Amino acid sequence: MGKRKSNSANAAIAIESTVSPILEVNYKDPLFTVAAHPSKPILLSGLVTGHVYCNSYDAEKLEEAQSAAREKFNALEKEAFAQGKIGQITKSVSQLKNKWWTIIEDHTEIEEASHIVTNWKTKRHKGSCRHAIFDPLPGSLGESIFTIGTDHTIKRANTETGKVIGKANIVEHFENKSDSVTKLCHSSTNPFLLTGTEDGHVLVFDSKNLGENKIKFKVPLVHDDSVNQIMAMPSVSAYHYLSLGSTTLSHIDIRKGIVTQSDSQDDELLSMCYGMDKSSTANDTVLVGHGEGIVTIWKNSKNRFMDQLSRIKVNKTASIDAIMPTMNEDDDEQAASVWCGDSEGLLHRVNYKRGKVVETRVHSSARGKYGAADEVGILDIDYDYRLISAGMDSLKIWSGQDYEYDSESDSDSDDSDDSLGSEEFAFDSDKEDKEDKSDDEQVEENGEDENSDESNASDDSDEAPEEDTQPKIARRRPFPGTAPSTKKKTLDLNSKVEPEPAEPVAKKPKVKQMSTKQLKNLQKHEHGIRRFEGL
């Protein structure tokens, strides 16, 4: 018997964004790492088998194909609705039976007409490929890639050809030979390649001379457990970095060691990123994803990253496994937002200035081949600010265009569609408001061989519709019934007889309705933290 969807999954569908993917790629083997080229439509994917794939995609054509297919689908739905064949017009992207974006059912078999090609593929590591990143140095931006596998070998390869141009087996630098690298990080100004290990150490190598296999710096025991992420601090120094692992956030100087280490958060810290708004300069503001489904805000200028300053509740029943800034500084709303991927397959755009979830998308709404929803463990932003989400089963590139339904065509179905999930969610905020007063505030402001690369663009793309087996959410009208008409009482002014009092009108049972604030939030789709607190 299948596992029932959580309330958060149901709520996400109820307030789901209308933005859809333009491309979906499914993988036969578990996907471990994804990297997007900083200036070109190129994707890297590393698998549990040790294979690395490099793909190029035509984003403009994918957008056009998705838009045309969506318009055709909507036209057919409107016609069917007008004829009474369907009860409402589908607005939920995740609940579609016929999907209008390009779908690659098998990443090893891609048709040329699908607007995505395989530039090269190779068996890069003997074990799994754990992490892959592009070269971020200004003089060689995106020209090469770095990968690390469970074979303890770092490899540098040319992005265009996949040919290895440098490698180093670093197991000799481990204090414990059973240790293994979990994450890579490259300085954006210097040839420093950092590796975080399962035992909590950080080792630094010269990325230009990997063949020498000489360690430049070593910071031991940065964390009690595995290093989950490392971030450079270029605005502070080429030698300063932030490391996340176990229950602590550490600020390190790779020459001297730990600068500061936070208090234990009593919760595993899984992911982090910088804020992108104009006030978050000098790598000062950091957002951290927790195992308990919250995002916390940290500031170096306030307390030197010793403790969180505020928290935002995102998904009570899932962990925040990945977090990524929108990278769009041109729009104030986007600049103040970060994307969060959780363990229930949901994507949340969180405005950390307002302290609320402002948009939700569904990466995976059904159980995958590994027994659960495809957890979003990887997030990235492509060269044109499109969101990329990935789990172990699939990868999705999301459209950069917002979609709005015609109000004219939806007017007849508003009663059943706009109140989506109202019975289940409309009155939850009243109860949660009371809980919030005794709970934490929403935002608490306290002060292969090397040349085994094969150039392949295999054929086979299948855009067959996928059946979604998830149950539908109950719907009801937000304002049941109509107000009774006012009764008029006539008086004869010439008569001395006083009129008899009107018969009392039987009171109708009081129907609980949404408050003005709740209705406003529902209409404007401003579903804040309180909407998510009970998930």
For 265-317, how does the pLDDT look when each residue is reduced to its tens digit (9 = 90+)? Answer: 999 999 999 998 766 678 999 999 999 999 999 999 999 999 999 999 999 99
Q: How confident is the model at residue 371 (pLDDT cuts 50, 70, 90)?
A: low
Contact 55, 118 (CB under 8 A): yes
Q: What pLDDT was estimated at residue 447?
A: 41
Query: SS3 for 409?
Result: helix
- 62: alpha, beta or left? (left if phi > 0; alpha if psi -120 to 50): alpha
| Distance of alpha carbon 128 from alpha carbon 168, whole angstroms | 16
Query: SS3 for 153?
Result: strand
Mean pLDDT of 138-160: 97
Tens of pLDDT, residues 373-389: 799 999 999 999 999 99
Higher pLDDT pick, 314 / 111 = 314
CA 495, 498, 504 angle in degrees (round to 5)?
135
Instruction: Out of 1.10.1750.10, 1.20.1250.20, 2.40.128.630, 1.10.260.40, select the CATH number for domain 7-20+263-447+517-535.
Output: 2.40.128.630
Tens of pLDDT, residues 204-260: 999 999 999 999 999 999 999 999 999 999 999 999 999 999 999 999 999 999 999
Query: SS3 for 357?
Result: strand
Assess whether pLDDT exceeds 80 at residue 517.
no
Mean per-residue pLDDT over the chain, rounded: 80
Pair of tokens at residue 187: 């300085």
Query: SS3 for 53?
Result: strand
Higher pLDDT pick, 3 / 79 = 79
Assess whether pLDDT exceeds 60 at residue 443.
no
Q: What pLDDT was estimated at residue 490?
A: 41
Assess whether pLDDT exceeds 70 at residue 428.
no
Tens of pLDDT, residues 474-506: 333 333 333 333 434 444 434 444 445 555 555
User: What proportion of the chain, given as a percentage, has pLDDT over 90?
Assistant: 61
Mean pLDDT of 502-519: 52
Q: What pLDDT was estimated at residue 453?
A: 44
What stretch of H or E contains 253?
strand 248-253
Contact 389, 376 (CB under 8 A): yes
Within 10 Å of residue 48's Cβ, how many Cβ atoms?
16
Place of tokens 């002060």: 447
Pair of tokens at residue 242: 């932030």
Q: What pLDDT was estimated at residue 403?
A: 60
Q: How confident is the model at residue 95 (pLDDT cuts 50, 70, 90)?
A: confident
Question: How many Cα neighbours within 13 Å face the side chain of 329?
Answer: 8
Contact 130, 181 (CB under 8 A): yes
Q: What pLDDT was estimated at residue 450?
A: 43
Q: What pLDDT was estimated at residue 241?
A: 98
Least confident of 10-14, 183-187, 523-527: 523-527
| Distance of alpha carbon 497 from alpha carbon 476, whole angstroms | 50
Higher pLDDT pick, 410 / 189 = 189
Give every CB contact of residue 289 below 8 A, 6+ residues apart in sequence.
269, 270, 271, 272, 295, 319, 320, 321, 322, 323, 340
Higher pLDDT pick, 150 / 440 = 150
Q: What pLDDT was estimated at residue 205?
A: 98
Annotate 258-316 with DSSP letters as a single string. EEEEPPP-SS-EEEEEE--STT--TT-EEEEEETTSEEEEEEHHHHTTSS--EEEE--T
Pair of tokens at residue 58: 């035509």
Q: What pLDDT was estimated at residue 92?
A: 81
- Specify the long-range contacts of residues 165-169, CB closer than 8 Å, at least 24 apart: 166/209, 166/210, 166/211, 167/210, 167/211, 167/450, 168/205, 168/210, 168/211, 168/212, 168/213, 169/213
| Distance of alpha carbon 74 from alpha carbon 97, whole angstroms | 13
Within 10 Å of residue 26's Cβ, how many Cβ atoms?
19
Place of tokens 């017009």: 89
| Distance of alpha carbon 177 from alpha carbon 127, whole angstroms | 16
